[in-house]
Chain A
Amino acid sequence: MKSPMSDAALVAAARSGSDTAFARLVDRYQQAVRSFLRQVCGHEADADDLAQETFLAAWSSLGSLKDAQQIKSWLFGIAWRKAKGLGRSASRARARDTAWSDLQDTQNEPKTEMNIAMKQAMSQLSSDQRAAIALCLAGGWSHGDAAQVLDMPLGSVKSHVSRGRAKLVEILGVDDEQS
């Protein structure tokens, strides 16, 4: 059986102009990046648009990636900066069409009750808390790696995760043996 190409090999091929290699990188990381952005944005269409922009930005600046093995954290860093930018620019537009998009969501996208409950609970947190939670709890990242991706002090990430988690547990009403 053919072993999958390493990230470094795919990055090297993509840098030399291979679209196939870049498409494989997109396949490899699309789920992680889109899931992270969905947790942070709370709106799947916006999150997928941002994910597309993230991969486009990655393609444009692939030459600036120093360590090809770090491509995952590099992509998440780009995604987080895009999400922060969207948060600033889209807040006005969001206020205008929230009612419409919410209606579209419930009509067009079959979602489990858990997903809807989690989205509502996440919307009660700050964007920094959502990002820290999405990385550390949903994505299984270490606090240190998350701090690096989010460009935050380690203590802030730990605090965001701890407080955000407590709030989610309270809102969702789950049995929590960990706290």
Chain B
Amino acid sequence: MSSPDPLKVFFEAGDAPASDPAFRVSVMAVIARQRMLREWAERFAMTMVLIAALFLLKPVLDILQTSFLEIPYEIYAALALVAILAFAGQYYISRSSRFLLPRFFQF
């Protein structure tokens, strides 16, 4: 049987503790901060994409706007009522409204 390395005891004197909840907490806090920054970056990027898309679609939206003005307001009221009922029904079934928003805009 070989004798233990005499240097081993010197190395062990400088070892980190076997259990260190404070270190784990500090790592997980940094990770949480990193995740939050990423999510904000994603949301910002998505918002920019939406703004760019709206800007590019502006000529089409202008045309739609003028043609919508010619439609009687009762039609809009009926559409709004249907939308509200659909949202309410979906909420009642799922007991959650999170699905209504894209993932990037969920808090």
Interface on A for B, CB 8 Å cutoff?
Answer: 19, 22-23, 26-27, 30-31, 34-35, 38-39, 48, 51-52, 55-56, 59-60, 111-112, 114-115, 117-119, 121, 134, 137-138, 165, 168-169, 172, 174-178
Q: Are A60 and B26 in contact (CB under 8 A)?
A: no
Chain B CB count within 10 A is highest, among A30, A51, A112, A175, for: A30
Tell me, yes or no, whether B57 is within 8 Å of chain A by CB.
no
Q: Are A52 and B26 in contact (CB under 8 A)?
A: yes
Q: Are B7 and A165 in contact (CB under 8 A)?
A: yes
Q: Which of B1-57 contact A (CB under 8 A)?
A: 2-3, 5-20, 23-24, 26-28, 30-32, 34
Chain B residues with CB under 8 Å of A23's CB are: 24, 27-28
B5 CB to closest chain A CB (Å) equals 6
Chain B residues with CB under 8 Å of A118's CB are: 10-11, 13-14
CB < 8 Å neighbour of B15 from A27, A31, A59, A119? A31
Q: Are B6 and A56 in contact (CB under 8 A)?
A: no
Query: Secondary structure of the B side of the interface?
Result: helix
Q: Are A27 and B24 in contact (CB under 8 A)?
A: yes
- List the A residue with the shortest CB-CB distance to B28: A23
Given A22-B28, A172-B7, list of 10 further CB < 8 A pairs? A26-B23, A27-B24, A31-B19, A31-B20, A34-B23, A48-B16, A52-B23, A56-B27, A138-B8, A169-B6
10 tightest Cβ-Cβ pairs between the two chains A and B: A34-B16, A138-B11, A114-B13, A115-B13, A118-B10, A174-B6, A115-B14, A35-B15, A55-B27, A112-B13
Query: Secondary structure of the A side of the interface?
Result: helix
Interface size classification for chain B: 20 to 34
| Assembled-state Cα–Cα distance A55/B20 (Å) | 14
| Assembled-state Cα–Cα distance A79/B28 (Å) | 17
CB < 8 Å neighbour of B6 from A35, A39, A117, A176? A176
CB < 8 Å neighbour of B27 from A52, A175, A177? A52
Chain B residues with CB under 8 Å of A27's CB are: 19, 24
B30 CB to closest chain A CB (Å) equals 5
Chain B residues with CB under 8 Å of A137's CB are: 5, 7-8, 11
Chain A residues with CB under 8 Å of B3's CB are: 177-178
Q: Are B14 and A38 in contact (CB under 8 A)?
A: yes
| Assembled-state Cα–Cα distance A55/B24 (Å) | 10
- List the A residue with the shortest CB-CB distance to B18: A31
Chain B residues with CB under 8 Å of A55's CB are: 27, 31
A137 CB to closest chain B CB (Å) equals 6
